[in-house]
Amino acid sequence: MHNQKILLLLAIGLVSYSTQAQHEHHTQPDTVATKEHPQTHDHTAATGAGHASPDHVMEMDGSAESLQHMQLMQGDDHAPMSHSYSLSLPMTRNGSGTGWLPDASPMYGYMAHSRKWMFMFHGNVFVRYNKQDLTNKGSRGDAKLDAPNWVMAMGQRRVGRRGLFHFNTMFSLDPLFGGAGYPLLFQTGETFEGKPLVDRQHPHNLFSELSIGYTHQFNPDVDAFVYLGYPGEPALGPVAFMHRPSSQNNLDSPLGHHWQDATHITFGVATLGFRYRAWKVEGSLFTGREPGEARYGLDRPRFDSYSYRLSYNPHPQWALQVSQAYIKSPEPLEPDENVRRTTASALHSLPLKPGNYNLTSALIWGFNDAGGDHTEHSVTLESNLQLNRFAVYGRYEWIQKSAGELQVHEYDHDRLFGINALSIGTNYTLLRAWRANLSVGVQGSIYLNDPLLHSVYGKNPLAGQIYVRIYPQLMRMRM
């Protein structure tokens, strides 16, 4: 009941804030491109509905005008250039699973078309050297040369005049770089060789998403959809960190990952959703158990947990959500422990000028209640400033983790510690070729930990990493 009150208060707060933002939108100039000033490259508008010059290139800006322009060009018999789960929404709202991003979000990827199908491809590859606890103050630090990575391929087509079919796949070669994942101080969650992973981020699975979905449009304001994933992502939390523009340059998983968005790889998901204008409500049945250590395989579906989420995009620059889930036995080492997870988030995307100039941010709260005194909060605030080739970004986190979670055995299992973490990074794009970017960057972190943890971690340990990043250029549409 306490969590439900918190959820209700957050929902009221988010709606009140968004109402204010919507009012300000009507009183201030919109920063998103308009029909008179579209974000385009090389050429101007299409030559006719459903047809364009062979070398026509158009950059999506997420505005309502851009969406209307795309709908005029596609026609009923053409591949749908729309959101994955609505013919009425722009594709820039696509997040992870069925989650929403702001319409003004930048998209990086490749697109291909046939007459009936639209295909998109996304990805991210880092090659880095990572050292946690640079000054060796504690006993938990480690260093590693690794390559966090993922790639996605998706496609969609119309089914009749009002139907939309979509499939999505996501793969990662993280397992090639070790089942224990990469060093990350104060990170917890999942297991390796039958023991809890502590101070490391687990690798993502080879099969991170294999899903299909169908949407039926009743009218431009109303959609209903079904989503099935094995694995997939239930209706819980914000768009996963790997797919948020605000964390696109940050190599590390948030310390609050298992409080906020860790269910983005779930072996067995069924979601039913309903959209009315800017609102969406959806519910999921899914498998509560986190992925096993066999990162190349497929786990047994259980469908023993449930979630529900309310989303609201009041403005092209905002995406808000509140959600809650009952998760049965997420940890294999504690099979009798169930978790009630509650989250709320606000994502913001601000285009600064045409091209790859934008400021994206996220504020996320996540709460895990495992019963008794085992209740823990987490807060994440992150931003990414992209100025064409140059980027600067940061993330601040505050999270409560127990002695049992951190495997600090000299204290009671449920003793909570407050942890503050601040990461700041920058990178520069050295090369652009084959519609891909190659950037080099550096990132540093400082952890402000509870004094009771100084004997294990040292006082305020530091971390640093240097990296090369390869990823697609800003999305363009060729027709």
Q: What is the pLDDT of residue 81?
A: 87
The token pair at 420 is 């503050």
Q: What is the pLDDT of residue 413?
A: 87
Q: What is the pLDDT of residue 476?
A: 62
Q: What is the pLDDT of residue 373?
A: 74
Q: What is the pLDDT of residue 209?
A: 98
Q: What is the pLDDT of residue 79?
A: 84
φ/ψ region of 194 (left if φ > 0, alpha if ψ in -120 to 50, else beta) reads: left
21 class by beta-carbon count within 10 Å (0-12 exposed, 13-18 middle, 19+ buried): middle
Q: What is the pLDDT of residue 371?
A: 86
**What is the number of other CB atoms lying within 10 angstroms of the CB of residue 354?**
14
Nearest CA to 73 out of 107, 100, 45 is that of: 45
d(CA 470, CA 72): 34
Assign 111 to helix, strand or coil.
strand
∠ at Cα 370 (367, 376), nearest 5°?
35
Tell me if the pTM is above 0.95.
no
Q: What is the pLDDT of residue 23?
A: 41
State the DSSP code for 259: H
Q: What is the pLDDT of residue 407?
A: 95
Q: What is the pLDDT of residue 165?
A: 98
∠ at Cα 22 (17, 24), nearest 5°?
95
For the chain, give every domain's residue range. Answer: 2-478
Task: Label the pairing between strands 143-146 and 269-276.
Answer: unpaired
Tens digit of pLDDT per residue, the chain (479 long)?
A: 444 444 444 444 443 444 444 444 433 333 333 333 333 333 323 223 333 333 334 444 444 444 444 443 445 567 888 999 999 999 999 999 999 999 999 999 999 999 999 999 999 999 999 999 999 999 999 999 999 999 999 999 999 999 999 999 999 999 998 889 999 999 999 999 999 999 999 999 999 999 999 999 999 999 999 999 999 999 999 999 999 999 999 999 999 999 999 999 999 999 999 999 999 999 999 999 999 999 999 999 999 999 999 999 999 999 999 999 999 999 999 999 999 999 999 999 999 999 899 999 999 999 999 987 789 999 999 999 999 999 999 999 999 999 999 999 999 988 999 999 999 999 999 999 999 999 999 999 999 999 999 999 999 999 999 999 999 999 864 43
Task: Label the pairing between strands 207-219 and 195-201.
Answer: unpaired
Which one is the CATH code of 2-478: 2.40.110.10, 3.90.1150.10, 3.40.50.2300, 2.40.160.10?
Answer: 2.40.160.10
Nearest CA to 311 out of 299, 327, 322, 300 is that of: 322
The token pair at 244 is 């948020």
The token pair at 297 is 């395989």
28 class by beta-carbon count within 10 Å (0-12 exposed, 13-18 middle, 19+ buried): exposed
d(CA 65, CA 37): 10
